[in-house]
Structure 1
Amino acid sequence: MATSTSPARSSPSVGTGKALRRVHRRRRVRTLGFLSPWLVGFTVFFAYPLIATVYFSFMHYNQLEKPTFVGLRNWRYVFEQMPLFGPALRNTLWLVVVMVALRVVFGIGIGLLATRVKSGVGFFRTCFYLPYLAPPVAATVAFVFLLNPGTGPVDNILGDLGISAPNWFNDPDWAKPSLVLLGLWGIGDLMVVFMAALLDVPREQYEAARLDGAGRLATFRYVTWPSITPIVMFAVVTGVVQTMQYYTQALVAGKLASGVDVGPGSVVQPGYPDHSTLTVPQLVYSLGFQNFNTGAACVLSLVLFAIAMAVTTLLMRRGAGLLTAED
């Protein structure tokens, strides 16, 4: 009897196990369905390009013939034989450090002013936000015109004040600071972000600080800054990523300053004047699409990706000082 009834006793548990497996399978399929847009986007726009870049970095490929394996030849060429790699990397890192830091500082400052202006606040915010809305090429053309040596409005105003204006984009020592001024001119995006963060600081904390006799600096240090540090982290990380890809403004400014037409068909070596505005993305484009050296361009892209990931990881660490333990 025991032998004949044992299958009957085990059958409910077996059926329950199959039902649970079916439920889990349906949940996994449903979850994958919800994740499928992200998975497709991640695969098509990140994973595949990254794998292809690593693959072509070990190949000789001119985009016309079949790629051939060359080992580390492209890597040795970039690090040992390419004379412009060093200046391009230094310019890119200089822009990352200086431009990102100044944009964050000015963004916080303009955001503070925008939240405290009592009259004409709409006009004030519009004036600072409009340059950001302009397309990068149009904004760069307008800014180069404003700083045009001798005929630009800025030089005319400085001349009336008795101040000798520099050559701006025509001077290797002033070209990168001029690009930083261009970045500060379009500070409207950070102004809006920091203005929203500043308006979100609880008013009760400001009132408590005033009751304790805290001044403006102490209030900013102990009340405002702890509340906006996540937004500062966001602005710094996104600014680093964007500046590591800095291409259009530097290229257009160099072309205009050198007197080359920016219309279709115009070809000029980037970096004017004297390679002072040459960035790694410009070098990637020049190698990959003008000289058809895809392997070396992929090596530069991987170097840029590695530096961006390293800097972002360093900033995201809690010890970087931008985030507190509670964040």
Structure 2
Amino acid sequence: MPTGTTDRRTTTRPALRRARRRDARAALLFLSPWLLGFAIFTAWPVLYSGYLSLTDYDVLNDPSFVGLDNYRELFEDPKVTLALRNTFFYVAVQVPLYVLVSLALALLLNTASRRSAGFFRTVFYLPNMTPPVAVGVLLLLVFNGQNGLINELLGAIGIDGPAWTTDPDWVKPAIILTSLWSTGSSVIILFAALRNVPQELYDAARVDGANAWQRLVRITVPMISPALFFVFVVNTIAAFQTFTEAYTAFFGSGNTTYSNDAALFYAIYLFQQAFEFLNMGYASAMAWVLFVIIMVITAIQLLVSRRLVYLEGDQ
């Protein structure tokens, strides 16, 4: 090998290393505001809540270490069992329904012309701008058993509507139906995925005689499965933490009827322990149990996605 080439490589490598270190320092400098905010407002509170979960802490007095007593008490608390049962029922019903409605609206939007699609995207997304507290009030108004809009519509076709907000059997269905008010963001995500499905696949399927249902199942769903999976995971995490609408409708409005137990979700009971009863240590233990539940469910979804989600790089 010529000597000149070796010398150039020898002098170039230190220069490259210096350039990379300089780029790394610049990147860290630009990232530092976010890193500082994450450390102060996310990482430290999470770690400190882990410590508090091992203490008896009422905000007014210093924390006293109690070990795993909070966790033992948590698993013996019938209210925790009730809240978990309500939450798992809500997640099991709400998330698939939410995704199906979002997909149906996205498919409907995909059939619109390019000009009208922009208008309807805005229409579908606008409900997401409604404050969650207002949605909770809307729940009480729309699902009122006496003169609510839903029962008025059911009465118009001869159906006697249930007492949505007072009958324990109908409280959670009312909350689930209300949650469909905010499908707009998922509709936009799925609509963008639909726009990226190659039209040639549909043309080839039509030539082969595939009907609309077969094209949906064999082409559309597999091609947008990454977006569907994202929507499913994100909304599963959100459903486990559902709070504002149910709390506003059944706890924050002075409602003290028996229907409260039917609307007692895990996040609501956690909030009550922390800010109504000032059991911060117990609430921290509840928060960590919820964190573990969400992590396990998400890990299962990721494992299942390897079989169900199609990626273009897959062979």
Alignment pair present for 1:275 and 2:261: yes
Alignment pair present for 1:107 and 2:102: yes
Instruction: Tell me the equivalent position of 1:178.
Output: 174
How far did residue 56 of structure 1 move?
A: 0.4
Of 291, 307, 320, the residue aligned with 2:293 is 307
Instruction: Tell me the equivalent position of 2:308.
Output: 322
Alignment pair present for 1:286 and 2:272: yes
Q: Which 10-residue stretch deviates more, 190-199 or 39-48? A: 39-48
Of 219, 240, 244, the residue aligned with 1:244 is 240
Deviations for 1:18-76, whole angstroms, at most 9, x for unmatched residues? Answer: 87876665454334324424422332233212211110011111111111111111111
Instruction: Tell me the equivalent position of 2:53.
Output: 57
C-alpha change, 1:112 and 1:18, in structure 2 (3 Å) is closer
How far did residue 166 of structure 1 move?
A: 0.6
Instruction: Tell me the equivalent position of 2:4.
Output: none
**TM-score (ref. length: structure 2):** 0.86
> Counterpart amino acid of 1:61?
Y
> Counterpart amino acid of 2:99?
V
Is contact 1:62-1:292 (8 Å) kept?
yes
Q: Report 1:64-75 matches (<5 A).
A: 64-75=60-71
Q: Which 10-residue stretch deviates more, 190-199 or 121-130? A: 121-130
Is contact 1:149-1:168 (8 Å) kept?
yes
Alignment pair present for 1:84 and 2:70: no
Is contact 1:254-1:272 (8 Å) kept?
no
Deviations for 1:147-191, whole angstroms, at most 9, x for unmatched residues? Answer: 111111221222232111011121111111111100123222222
Of 41, 44, 53, the residue aligned with 1:45 is 41
Is contact 2:133-2:245 (8 Å) kept?
yes
Alignment pair present for 1:147 and 2:143: yes
C-alpha change, 1:97 and 1:37, in structure 2 (3 Å) is farther
Instruction: Tell me the equivalent position of 2:5.
Output: none
Is contact 2:49-2:284 (8 Å) kept?
yes
Identical pairs, percent: 38
> Counterpart amino acid of 1:108?
L
What SS does the corresponding residue of 1:166 show, helix, strand or coil? coil
Alignment pair present for 1:36 and 2:22: no
Instruction: Tell me the equivalent position of 2:197.
Output: 201
Deviations for 1:107-135, whole angstroms, at most 9, x for unmatched residues? Answer: 10111112224696666555543332211
Is contact 1:314-1:320 (8 Å) kept?
no
Is contact 2:223-2:310 (8 Å) kept?
no
Which structure is larger by alpha-carbon Rg, 1 or 2? 1
Taking the aligned partners of 1:275 and 1:18, their CA distance within structure 2 comes to 68
Is contact 1:272-1:278 (8 Å) kept?
no
Taking the aligned partners of 2:181 and 2:278, their CA distance within structure 1 comes to 35
Taking the aligned partners of 1:143 and 1:319, their CA distance within structure 2 comes to 34
Taking the aligned partners of 1:17 and 1:215, their CA distance within structure 2 comes to 61
Q: Report 1:9-28 matches (<5 A).
A: 25-28=21-24
Taking the aligned partners of 1:202 and 1:19, their CA distance within structure 2 comes to 46
How far did residue 84 of structure 1 move?
A: 0.3
What SS does the corresponding residue of 2:224 show, helix, strand or coil? helix
Taking the aligned partners of 1:24 and 1:189, their CA distance within structure 2 comes to 39
Number of aligned positions between the proteins: 303
The runs of at least 4 aligned residues of structure 1 exceeding 3 Å deviation read 15-28, 117-130, 318-322, 324-327
Is contact 2:109-2:120 (8 Å) kept?
yes
Alignment pair present for 1:133 and 2:119: no
> Counterpart amino acid of 2:266?
V
C-alpha change, 1:101 and 1:48, in structure 2 (3 Å) is same
Root-mean-square deviation (Å): 2.7
Taking the aligned partners of 2:15 and 2:184, their CA distance within structure 1 comes to 57
Alignment pair present for 1:295 and 2:281: yes
> Counterpart amino acid of 1:89?
L
Is contact 2:226-2:310 (8 Å) kept?
no
What SS does the corresponding residue of 1:275 show, helix, strand or coil? helix
Taking the aligned partners of 2:139 and 2:121, their CA distance within structure 1 comes to 20
> Counterpart amino acid of 2:154?
L
Taking the aligned partners of 2:232 and 2:307, their CA distance within structure 1 comes to 12
What SS does the corresponding residue of 1:273 show, helix, strand or coil? helix
How far did residue 97 of structure 1 move?
A: 1.6
**TM-score (ref. length: structure 1):** 0.83
Q: Which 10-residue stretch deviates more, 136-145 or 236-245? A: 136-145
What SS does the corresponding residue of 1:99 show, helix, strand or coil? helix
